Amino acid sequence: MKRPRSFEKVEAPVPHLASDSPNRMLIRASFVSMCGSDIAFFTGSKRHQRYPLPAGAPAHECVGQVVESTSHRFHGGDWVVAIPDGDLGLAEFFIAQDSKAIQLPDDPASRATSCLIQPLATVMNAVDRLGKLEGRSVAVVGLGSMGLLLCWLLNKRGADRIVGLDPCAHRSRLARTLGASKTYPMRSIEVVHAAREDPSMWDPPDICIEAVGHQTETLNDCIELVQRRGTVVAFGVPDQPIYAVEFETFFRKNATLVACVTPQWDEYLAMARELFFPCRDELETLLTHRLPIADAEEAFAAYERHDQGLIKVVLDCSRW
């Protein structure tokens, strides 16, 4: 990526896998899916970031085949979900640690959708932080692919009532098929104002999950919307190092703030794989667009715009 919103194809040497670097793999990419956390690098919103980015950045949801390995867990020819070192997944070849990978069955039909295993692992980590969910109500603010995965898993885990908030109507409709009992096709601040005007329209949940990230306002909306002694989950990735939090509201509610990022990858990738394959037919609806890797710039731009019907994009790396 040479500058914000601009990719170009570059020729680079195949990364060298040193024999004295244990527990590493050289992987040839097959499919790469896009995460909302990648978009800030695409738009240049990360103020500290310098361009051009390293070749292959930014992407971390990858499926590929092992070419070489210094790990006893993986061997040449294995198919894997892997998180590339440095998030350099937009490359024909990348290096990954074996602790950030999980083996896949040799099933060509499932490779593209298996990109969902990595984000599912992060969602499982977040939901595990909440303990028992039976009888508890949850609101999910932001119904992108992560918010939709959250609705789906919360429903699987027995949450009593799941409410989704997102201004994109197609996301709200999909959330209702994945476990949300009610959705508001509105921005969270609009729900805040509507609830102030008519408190009967909003039943404050036990848990409010911020699944938007990249700005500061929606975390404060969650603090406003959660019930007293409730829990606010900071799941969306921040772009700013400092957040202005409406602390008095948080303080008066005796609320709890939980941050959820970076699970123990070897443990959670394995659990996500075991959950994913029996439920693949349900989850693959999230992969709404499939494009060749050469169209990465177009794909990132569509993701940034929230194009109608778009939930998640997978890039096919079979032709460079």
> What is the residue-averaged pLDDT of the chain?
96
Reported as a single tens digit per residue, the pLDDT across 75-125 is: 999 999 999 999 999 999 999 999 999 999 999 999 999 999 999 999 999
What pLDDT was estimated at residue 160?
A: 94
Using alpha carbons, select from 153, 162, 161, 212 the residue that is nearest to residue 187: 212
**Torsion region of 62: left, alpha or beta (phi above 0 gives left; psi -120 to 50 gives alpha):** beta
152: CB partners within 8 A, 6+ apart: 178, 179, 282, 283
Q: Which CATH number fits domain 24-117+284-316: 3.90.180.10, 3.40.50.1820, 3.40.190.10, 3.30.460.80?
A: 3.90.180.10
Reported as a single tens digit per residue, the pLDDT across 30-75 is: 999 999 999 999 999 888 889 999 999 999 999 999 999 999 999 9
- Kindly state the DSSP code that residue 84 receives in the 8-state scheme: E
Q: Rounded mean pLDDT of 250-270?
A: 96
Rg (CA), the chain: 20
Taking residue 298's Cβ as centre, other Cβ atoms within 10 Å add up to 13
- Kindly state the DSSP code that residue 294 receives in the 8-state scheme: G
Q: Rounded mean pLDDT of 260-272?
A: 95
Q: Which CATH number fits domain 130-259: 3.40.50.720, 3.20.20.70, 3.40.50.300, 1.10.3720.10?
A: 3.40.50.720
Evaluate if residue 179 carries a pLDDT over 90.
yes
The H or E element spanning position 209 is strand 207-210
Reported as a single tens digit per residue, the pLDDT across 205-232 is: 999 999 999 999 999 999 999 999 999 9
